[in-house]
Structure 1
Amino acid sequence: MRKRVRGVRRGTRAGAVPVLLAAAVTAALAAGCTSPGKEDDGRAPHLERSHTQPPHPAGPVLAVKVDNAPEARPQRGLDAADVVYVEPVEGGLSRLMAVYATRLPEAVGPVRSARESDLELLRQFDRPVLAFSGAQSKLLPLIDAAPLRAEPPATAPDAYVRDDGRAAPHNLLLRPDRLLPSPSGAAALTTGYRYGEAPGGGRPVSSRTVRYPAASFTFTWSAERGRWLIAMDGGPVPAAGGGRPEPATVVVQHVTVRKSAFRDFLGSNSPYVESVGSGRAEVLRDGRSYEATWKRGAAEEGTAFTAGDGTPVNFAEGPVWVVFAGTP
């Protein structure tokens, strides 16, 4: 049976999001959401590479906050993302930020709320477009002041639709072409990553698992596909509305995760991922694991990955998944 599709009604002004329905609050508790009334209220209508990185990209990347609660899977549009960041959130769960520059899928989602550390992470790009469903009320002024173009449903209602096959609030989808007319191109990916031949050394690895307190990610190498196959919480990620996300490179980036200044509606501090600084990392490509050091000197800069002798650790051509893990 085909799913009903229709657009989103005009919302209120930016930052003004209605109060959550009781059912949405229950779902939000399981997903570790932010303040009720500032997250997704469930009431919107329903769904009918370059090796060098120039300092001035041709256009903005599109960054989308994507739900990763079990009820949100399988997500849509992750297979088209150039970079996917895996971030810890409240309750030991995870959320994704998908970044698009070379392809825009038909739909991305489910879309969920922003966090404080997203603003630091996005400073590496030139005025990126940020699609998100809402945020904690005290965070909204910081988002408005950040050097980005914020596009929640309240300011871009025509860009969002509801999927009748999912329960709210895990059913809000973004139509990227309503925010960007076309992909900006690889030059917009000012991540600092280098692509090319594999570095020397490394060790063979068939799979790698990263665990959060209430979530896990396993990346298994497929020599046949030349990509890493993803499992979340022990289950494989199926295709949804397109292809299956299969990164060419996976990075396990050990960072400092501290308490944010903001709390969710249960009173829990949101984790803050410090993406500026330096530390250990593990780069997975071509069925091998390479120990590396990461460094990002300032929020406006990308992240460099180097081997023990200081030489750059090249990534494989193709999508990149970066899993932010705490320091061991």
Structure 2
Amino acid sequence: MPGATRNRRRPGAIRIALLSLLSAVTAAGLYGCTSDGTQETPPPDGTPPPSAPASPTARSPFTGLPAKPAQVLAVKIDNVQAARPATGLGTADLVYVEQVEGGVTRLLAVYSAHLPDRIGPVRSARESDLSLLRPFGRPVLAYSGAQSALNPLIEAAPLYPVTEGDTPAAFVRDPARPAPHNLYLRPERALAAAPDATRARDIGFRFGSAPADGTAVNSTSVRFPAARYTFTWSAPDKAWRVAMDGRAGRSTDTGALTPETVVIQYVTVRPSGFRDRFGSVSPYTETVGSGNAVVLRDGRSHQARWNRPTQDAGTAFTTPAGTPLNFARGQVWVVLAPR
């Protein structure tokens, strides 16, 4: 029949098409395990989960949201009263709250999917940061400096340190703010200084449907020796509004701080072998081991267990019965609270 030859596919074209499809499926599977972003485990009865569609959407392992694989940037952010409000904090994928000298806290914000124009105020690193970042591979760590005795440990750690001293083009000072709360990072320039930094990868988080149990809560507070955080459920935001020391937390560029999931991870906080420039002993937050946690999502509180067997391993969060505890998709805050 005339025209039949034009509609017939050549065998070589078919093979190329099949190979392209297989490559796309394989590449997507390296980053996101299912089409909806949930990293699934087999059901208790051992039956395998339903097959994913042929072209699953890549999802961030830090938020469960659609995202292209990108380098990881961690930034040490000051959040004492004089440093607030922060800039760029609402864009972070993940925020850790850590205790430092004097019982106050600092934030370690992790970015990959989205980068704001500026992040800060940037402050100094602590020994705890080095262990906390090990599951991320070899990320960039931007900070204002560290005491001299800690520098050899930072240089030996699997990360790319970026400071104002060695990468001045990545930082800017805000003349409207008093020092030391006036140093800000230009994230694009920080990542350009470390082109081989690791891309986002699995650190143990799971995203998906909430557990069937849990307790409805309006707000939950966490106390440090000289700091207090309160997380209040906001139904219109479908997220938790953050307050620090009784005042609403916000970022200058995005407004109110509203993480979808808050993890209160109870850990051991002990004295380290380092002191700050005033002679105060720096606390060390132990994040390797296991313990209790509370996961806040969707207006409910869930009792949990956390487990991180080695420094290079991610942290798994499970129900008391031992099944994975899914987080809500979106920004995650992990409060490393003293036991």
TM-score, normalized by length of structure 1? 0.80
In structure 1, C-alpha distance between the alignment counterparts of 2:329 and 2:128, rounded to whole Å? 27
2:333 to 315, 321, 326: 321
Whether the 8 Å CA contact 1:79–1:243 is kept in 2: the answer is yes
1:326 Cα deviation (Å)? 1.1
Deviation at 1:187, TM superposition (A): 6.5
Which one has a bigger Cα radius of gyration? 2
Matches of 1:86 and 1:173, distance apart in 2: 19
Match of 1:190 in 2: 202
Question: 1:307 aligns to what?
Answer: 319
Q: CA deviation at 1:275?
A: 0.5
Indicate conservation of the 8 Å contact 2:271/2:282, yes or no: yes
Aligned-residue offset at 1:244: 2.8
AA matched with 1:93? V
Deviation, structure 1 residue 163: 1.1
Within a 5 Å distance, the mapping from 1:184-263 to structure 2 comes to 188-263=200-275
In structure 1, distance between residues paired with 2:312 and 2:272: 20
The CA deviation at 1:101 is 1.1
- Cα-Cα RMSD: 2.2
Higher relative contact order structure (alpha carbons within 8 Å, sequence separation ≥ 6): 1
SS at match of 1:124: helix
Instruction: Give the secondary structure class of the aligned counterpart of 2:273.
Output: strand
Partner secondary structure for residue 131 of structure 2:
helix
Deviation digits for residues 140-186 of structure 1 (CA, Å, limit 9, x no counterpart): 011011110000111110010011221111010001011225999x9
| 1:98 maps onto 2:109 in alignment | yes
Matched, 1:180 2:197: no
- For 1:12-66, what per-residue CA distance to the aligned partner results, in whole angstroms no more than 9, with x for missing partners? xxxxxxxxxxxxxxxxxxxxxxxxxxxxxxxxxxxxx943488xx9553100000
Are 2:135 and 2:312, in contact at CA under 8 Å, matched by a contact in 1?
A: yes
Check conservation: 2:88, 2:251, Cα contact below 8 A.
no
Structure 2: distance between partners of 1:266 and 1:225:
42
Residue 191 of structure 1: SS of its match in structure 2? coil
2:141 is equivalent to residue 130 of structure 1 = yes
- Separation (CA, whole Å) in 2 of partners of 1:193 and 1:221: 21
Deviations 1:95-125 (A, max 9, x none): 0000001110111000000000100000011
Report what 2:49 is aligned to. none
Q: CA deviation at 1:224?
A: 0.9
- Aligned mate of 2:151, from 133, 136, 140: 140
Displaced runs of 4+ in structure 1, greater than 3 A? 49-54, 57-60, 181-184
How many residues are paired up? 277
The secondary structure found in structure 2 opposite 1:161 is: strand
Residue aligned with 2:250, SS = coil
The one-letter code of the counterpart of 1:96 is L
Give the equivalent residue in structure 1 for 2:89: 78
Amino acid at match of 1:51: T
Who is 2:173 aligned against? 162
Structure 2: distance between partners of 1:120 and 1:261: 15
CA distance in 1, matches of 2:89, 2:208: 23
Paired with 1:175 and 1:189, the residues of 2 have a C-alpha distance of: 23
Cα distance, 1:239 vs structure 2: 3.7
Gaps of 5+ in 2: 1-35, 40-59, 62-67
Q: Secondary structure at the match of 2:256?
A: coil
Tell me if structure 2 keeps the 8 A contact 1:60–1:127.
no
CA positional deviation for 1:69: 1.1
